[in-house]
Structures are given as C-alpha cells and as structure tokens.
Amino acid sequence: MQGDLLLKYVRSSTGRPPKAAGPRQWLAALVALVRERIGEQWSRSIGAEAERRGKCVYYLSMEFLPGRLLIHALRNLDLYESCRETLAEHGVDLSVVAELEPDPALGNGGLGRLAACLLDSMANLGLPAYGYGIRYDCGLFAQEMVDGWQVERPDPWLRYGNPWEIPRGDLVYPVGFGGRLVDHGAAERPRYDWTGSDEILAVAYDLPVPGFQSQRLNTLRLWSPGAAHELDLRSFNEGNHAGAFSRKNAIESLSQVLYPGDASPAGRELRFKQEYFFVSASVQDILRRFRRSGRPLECLPDDIVIQINDTHPSLAIAELMRLLLDRHHLDWEQAWHLTRRSFAYTNHTLMPEALETWPLQYFEKLLPRHLQLIYEINDRFLRGVARRCPNDGALVRRLSLIDEEGERRVRMAHLAIAGSRRVNGVSKIHTSLMQRTTFADFAALFPGKIVNVTNGISFRRWLHEANPELVALIRSRIGDRWLSQPDELAALAPHADDPAFRTAFRAVKQRNKLRLAELVASDCGISIDPNSLFDVHIKRIHEYKRQLLKLLHVVALYDRLRRDASLPISRTVVFSGKAAPGYAMAKLTLKLIHDVALRVNADPAVAGRLKLVFIPDYGVRKAQVIVPAADLSEQISTAGHEASGTGNMKLALNGALTVGTLDGANIEIREAVGEENFFCFGATIEEVAKLRAEGYDPWRHYHGNAELRAVLDLIASGHFSPSAPDLFKPVVERLTSGGDPYLVLADFASYVSCQEHVEANYLDADDWTRRAVLNTAGLAKFSSDHAVRRYAELIWNAGAREERAVPAFTAAE
C-alpha cells in the first residue's frame, strides 16, 4: 500500500517512471510521501485550534543541528521497512538515497544539537513549540584534512535545495539598522520614533519537526534576508552597476555563514547584525501570532514563553520592549512586567571569553533605540539594587548591564538575567557554579531565579535511528514503550545479569564496530581491528576538552609498547571534531594527532596493538556511526569547564563506559549508572581551584613523572615531525612554561592509571558488557523528554493555561 503510494510519488514528483528513477528521484518521492503523511498533522498543529490548547514555547537559537530528517521521519511514522522493501524491489538501496539528503550543519556543537533534541522532545510530548533561527546559506565549514592541517571549505548545503523546507512568502518582516531617534511625546511621556533606518526584510522558511508517533508536529522557522528592494534599480539604471549590487551583497551576507570570522571588526559587527536580524523577525512573528488569538497583551506571558539559548538571542528582550512601548504604546512598567515574565535564559558556558559582550559603539551605530532601552533597563535595575544594598558601589558596578572598563560594552548575560523569569544552567554542577561564582551577585539578589535543568538527548535520534540493532534487541526484552516513555528504559537493568542477553548485546556492538571500521577505511584509508577497544574522543577541538591529554596517553602507550611488546594492550583511539578557524592551538593539536597517527600506525613494533585515527568532518551524520560503536567514551575536560556535555550521554546510552572527570553531567551520569560502572579520574573542581590558587606548576609534574617527561620530550624532539622538528614545540611549551590554564599535566598520572584499570577491565569482555548494559539502562533520565518536562514545570509553566505562581522577584526588577 505504502509501496504503491511511493511509486505514484516517483511519477508525480519527478516525472519519471520508477524504473528510470535514480537515487535523487527516489529521495524526492520519499520526501513527498512523508510530507503527505505529516502535512495534515502539521497544518492541524499550527492551526488556531491547537494554539489555544496551551502555552506556546518559542526557542530562539543561533544554532540548530537537526540532522537529516528522512530516516528519522520514516522510523517515527513506521514507514521505514515498507519503503526499504519497495526500493529494494527496484534495486535501490535506501541508505544510498538517504545519503543524498543535505545534513543542515547550522551549528557547531552541543548547544545547537541540544536545541534540536529539545524541539524533538517538545513535539513528542505534544507541546506547541517553534524553533527560531537563521537559514544560513552555508553551514559550519566542511572540514578537510590536508597533510594533517585543517582546511575549511564552504558547506553550501542548499545547493540542491532543501526538500523539506516550505518558503513562507507570506511571512515577511522588516528589520532596521541605523537611523536616528525622534521624540514625539510630551515631556512627561516621551514617545520615540526610530526613523531613517536601513530596512531589510526577513523571510520565513519552515521545516517540520515531527514527534514520535505523536499527533504534534512543530516547526523550525528559519529566517533568510529577503529579496525585496535588494537591487538598487535607480542606481543600476544610472550606470552604477557595482554599487547597485553592493547593497544586495551586504544583505545577503547576513545569512551567508554561521560564526563569521570574529578576528576582524567587520566580522564581529556582522555577527551582531545577525543576532538582531533573527530576533527582531522572531519577536515580530511571535507578537503577530499572539495578536491573532485576540487576547489582550496582558495575557502575553500566560500564552507564550521565549527561551533564549545562551545570550546570543538576548537582544530579543530589548526588541520586545521596543515593540510594546513604541508600537503598542504600553507604559514602561507594563511593558517591563510583561517582558520579564515572557523570557527565560539558558546559560551554556561560564568561560569568561565566551560570555558575550557588545561594544556600545555597535548599538550607537546600528540599534540606537535599543541602546536607549538598555540604558533605561539598567538605570531602573541598578536603582533597585542601590535601594536594597545602599552604599555598595562595587556591587552596582558588578551587576551593571554595562561594563564601564575600557571600551564600554553591554554585558549580554546581565541583560538576559535581568529580563528573564528564570535562568537555568545545564547540569547540577554548572548551575551550582553559576550560583556560587559567575552570577553569585544575581543569585543573592534574586533567590530561586537560577535553577537547574540538566541537558538531555533524544532517544529517537540517538538510539532508535542511530542504533537500530540495539533497539531491536532491547525491544525483544522490554518492548518499545521507552521510546515515548524514556524512564522505562530502566527496565533493561535486570537483563544485564542474563548471559544470553549480554552475548546478544556484545554481538550488536561488534557489528556497529564493523560499520565504524568501514567508515574509517573509506574516510582515512586505515584498517582498524574491531576486536580492539574502541576508545572515542569526539567533540569540538578545544583546550579545555583536553584532546591533548588523550594524545599524551596515546604517546605513553606507544612508548610502553615499543619497550615491551608483550603488554596486553589492544586499543583503537578515535578522534573526531572541528577546530574554530581562528584557534591556532586547536589546529596544531589536529596536526599533532595526524602526525602521531602516521608514526604509530606505521610502526611494526605496535602493529595490532595500537591504532590512532582521526575521522574528518565531524557532524551529526558521522556521530551517528561513531557513537554506537564506542566501547570507551572520553569525557576528560578540566573540572569546572564543561557546562554539561551531551556527547557523554549519547555514548553511554549506546553502551560505552565513560572515562571522565567530575565535570558537567559526568557527575550525574556516574550517579545514575553506578560508580563501579564509570572510570573517574583527575582533579575535582575544588582541587582545580586550589591548584590555581597555589600557583599551578607544570614543571613539578614534568620532573616528578618519568613517563610524562619522556612523552613530552618525544614530542618536543620532533620525533613525530622529522621534517619540521620544532613544529610541536608550541604545544609542549603551552603545557609547561606556558602555564596551561587547563592543567593537563596535573591530571596525567591519574588519567594513565585510570586507563590501566580500563584495560584490565576490558579483558573480561562479558563483565564489560554487563556494565555497558547498565550504562544504557542507567541513562533513562537523560532523555530530552525529561529535560523538557522540567523546563515546562520549573520555567515555562507550560501545559497549563493559567500562570502558576512565579515568585515575584524583588523591586530591583
């Protein structure tokens, strides 16, 4: 039946008979089939009736990493098998067709993938929600490795169009930059007009977000700078051809890339403009939909909540104020009351360099009205602070929305906190650090405002789609209610004691390892042994994530094996991840991984015992192959730096054991799976603080640990870079004389000895599998469904129409 329908779509959507259809035509037909199935649901979901059923969540994010949709949707709709068979009957492989779908890499890490998992869960739970972001023409760069150096290539993912998106020519909003302010009001009641700004248009493109077998289908709405007026015709007709196109180019540059290089002022300004561009369009759209409901503006926070994903969209707070004051003519108190009850802010990092601030200059030049509003918000806020804590000028300066030191800048996190009903961290420890350190003043001023919602992941994406064989096995024992009720995955735990189940579990892992071995063979031209321990470090390349610590361990193992070939070591270390284009140390780390791999993989002394591979161009697609195949998950950030981590959850869910520091969500994962099923090492947050306070001395570790010294000397000697012996000196210097803020050497001994336990434990394959099963079962509470329920309860008051009491914060607000 579905098969016939599919054949019909081949004809109608591609104009070819099935026997003449190539993979691209089959893709079009499959998409048409899914769209037909979800179309009605979608229109029902966005219909007015559905809107009235509960609070609507608007999730604003500069990044979304939704992954491919076809297989996900086919599985969600239970169409996978029938479509696979129909294609097979025509000699076509579904997996080949699925490869043609573009993978929207509209993000660079955990923050973007979290946004996608939360949207997935909101749809699954039937919660009305929209994701709002930017329709970047190019996603995050594609990573190519040339002789170990990262080369960034554009990723024009829309080259062949996006078969899922629906352009919404009917949803277009003007977004202005520049111009000046005119006061129209009477003296006691000023009313400002922001005039003369250069207006560009934001056009909506919708993507479906299907829930798992649920009736709800949500929307990811991405904004693209619009086409109207983009060519200055008059200028063109007057012969100024290049000039006429320059405006068009300037407009288009707004959505050209994610994270325009921020080394130059122009790049930074462009990012600032991107942020305003998408939040302005989003807030206008939110207000339009709300107005359509016919409810008075006073009900706004009862009907909507705008969740801002890190500070990047926090200009939305000033934008809502502007619209309420200037367009809807509310007075300040009303507008502020509604605004700060409509927003909530999630913080994803406490690293000072990642806490966004923008120069006042940008506001003066591009958003003068918003600057005025931010001054006013700040003024009222600080007056409230001064009333509560008189004579504490230092406190006022610390809390101010404006950083007065040096070039004056707006602290976006302070704006986000002042303008939100709740603020959340993404793991217990991260939230506690927010309360105790970076945002301690805010926490003291507004007790109860900073809350925790530990991150989660979509089991549909990270198990159901990524690991179908494991799902079939789990199903055979506990059914599949856990796909919609993730807590039920815990029922798997008793099966860890069943030898037959363990054997089957191990067999699935083995087949997944073979699949990864195929990927490594085709991507890297290296053959790896599926019987070795697959040791996986996959994430953005960043010093705090300590790829270097893993690499020092690899070199140590290499050195040990060269000395003693009889050691019972059999390990394949897999790295994957991208370095930010301007991050020299991260790029040099990649080169070092490559050069160490060349040496290790070619050395007959360690053949069959140790392999090192780097899989280029990490993204959702590659992760879906690597994650199910991992035995060991490396989560080795310097304690206090990884806000949560979500890769740690994906890997443990797929039955990898973790070697990790007590950082981010590792701490909660360890609690959930049992301490005995988690390899913990390294300095704790308190110890890190103490080490730093005492003055961290890397040389003490260098001189005190012969193995570490040998490893560093080997790298510094040019052993891995004979043609350029000094190439890696900067790495060694960073770890020693450079004072390394991430304390790699301090944790080396503890890490290496923990890895010895890992090795000894891995020798008992059956017991290892028992513990792997307990990891899978123990991950139940890290489902993003769970996280969404907590957001709904703790932050959004969603699910119910009436506003449950949110404690009124102090007068300072």
Q: What residues make contact with ligand 26W under the rule CB under 6 A? A: 108-111, 114, 348-349, 354, 426, 455, 642-646, 664
Q: Which is nearer to ligand 26W, 262 or 326 (CB)?
A: 262
| Single-letter amino acid, residue 434 | M
599: CB partners within 8 A, 6+ apart:
558, 719, 720
Q: Which is nearer to ligand 26W, 76 or 455 (CB)?
A: 455
Distance of closest approach, residue 252 Cβ to ligand 26W, in angstroms:
21
Q: Which is nearer to ligand 26W, 116 or 592 (CB)?
A: 116
Asked if 591 is an active-site residue, the reply is no
| Distance from C-alpha of 99 to C-alpha of 614, rounded to nearest angstrom | 21
Distance of closest approach, residue 540 Cβ to ligand 26W, in angstroms:
6
| Single-letter amino acid, residue 508 | V
Burial (0-12, 13-18, 19+ Cβ within 10 Å), 333: exposed
SS3 59: strand
Q: What is the DSSP string of 92-133?
A: --HHHHHTTS----B-SSHHHHHHHHHHHHHHHTT--EEEEE
Which among 539, 578, 609, 771 is annotated as catalytic?
Answer: 539
Distance of closest approach, residue 449 Cβ to ligand 26W, in angstroms:
19
Which of 280, 410, 222, 422 lies closest to 342 in space, CA to CA? 422
Asked if 810 is an active-site residue, the reply is no
Distance of closest approach, residue 646 Cβ to ligand 26W, in angstroms:
5
Which among 72, 545, 550, 734 is annotated as catalytic?
Answer: 545
Q: Could you say which DSSP state residue 646 is in?
A: S
Distance of closest approach, residue 59 Cβ to ligand 26W, in angstroms:
13
Q: What is the DSSP string of 179-227?
A: -EEEE-SBTTB--EEEES-EEEEEEEEEEEEE-SS-S-EEEEEEEEE--
Asked if 509 is an active-site residue, the reply is no
Which among 72, 611, 622, 650 is annotated as catalytic?
Answer: 650
Q: Which is nearer to ligand 26W, 114 or 688 (CB)?
A: 114
Q: Which is nearer to ligand 26W, 163 or 425 (CB)?
A: 425
Q: Which is nearer to ligand 26W, 110 or 226 (CB)?
A: 110
Asked if 540 is an active-site residue, the reply is yes
Which among 86, 346, 638, 646 is annotated as catalytic?
Answer: 646
| Distance from C-alpha of 601 to C-alpha of 598, rounded to nearest angstrom | 6
Q: Which is nearer to ligand 26W, 236 or 544 (CB)?
A: 544
Q: Could you say which DSSP state residue 656 is in?
A: P
Which among 422, 537, 540, 701 is annotated as catalytic?
Answer: 540
Cα separations (Å) of 369 from 195, 221, 268, 404?
A: 10, 26, 20, 20
Torsion of CA 461, 462, 466, 471, to 10 degrees: -100
Asked if 328 is an active-site residue, the reply is no
279: number of CA atoms within 13 Å, CB side?
A: 29
Asked if 380 is an active-site residue, the reply is no
705: CB partners within 8 A, 6+ apart:
748, 749
Distance of closest approach, residue 302 Cβ to ligand 26W, in angstroms:
28
346 in Cβ contact with 643 (< 8 Å)? no
The order of strands in the sheet holding 610-614 is 610-614, 571-576, 533-538, 632-635, 657-660, 679-680
| Distance from C-alpha of 456 to C-alpha of 605, rounded to nearest angstrom | 43
Distance of closest approach, residue 108 Cβ to ligand 26W, in angstroms:
5
Q: Which is nearer to ligand 26W, 117 or 657 (CB)?
A: 117
Q: Which is nearer to ligand 26W, 108 or 121 (CB)?
A: 108
Residue 605 CA to chain centroid, in angstroms?
A: 41
Distance of closest approach, residue 590 Cβ to ligand 26W, in angstroms:
17
Q: Which is nearer to ligand 26W, 73 or 538 (CB)?
A: 538
Structure tokens, 58:
């608007």
| Distance from C-alpha of 561 to C-alpha of 610, rounded to nearest angstrom | 9
Q: Which is nearer to ligand 26W, 433 or 561 (CB)?
A: 433
162: CB partners within 8 A, 6+ apart:
102, 104, 207
Residue 769 CA to chain centroid, in angstroms?
A: 30
| Distance from C-alpha of 458 to C-alpha of 121, rounded to nearest angstrom | 7
Count of C-beta atoms within a 10 Å radius of residue 310 = 24
Distance of closest approach, residue 109 Cβ to ligand 26W, in angstroms:
3
The order of strands in the sheet holding 129-134 is 166-177, 198-210, 217-225, 129-134, 56-60, 304-309, 343-346, 422-425, 450-452
Distance of closest approach, residue 383 Cβ to ligand 26W, in angstroms:
31
| Distance from C-alpha of 154 to C-alpha of 105, rounded to nearest angstrom | 11
Which stretch of DSSP H or E encloses residue 257?
Answer: none
Q: Which residue is nearest to ligand 26W (CB)?
A: 110
Which among 312, 322, 341, 348 is annotated as catalytic?
Answer: 348
| Distance from C-alpha of 530 to C-alpha of 588, rounded to nearest angstrom | 29
726: CB partners within 8 A, 6+ apart:
718
Distance of closest approach, residue 110 Cβ to ligand 26W, in angstroms:
3
Q: Which is nearer to ligand 26W, 642 or 813 (CB)?
A: 642
Distance of closest approach, residue 105 Cβ to ligand 26W, in angstroms:
13
Structure tokens, 240:
């100024």
- The catalytic residues are 348, 539-540, 545, 646, 650
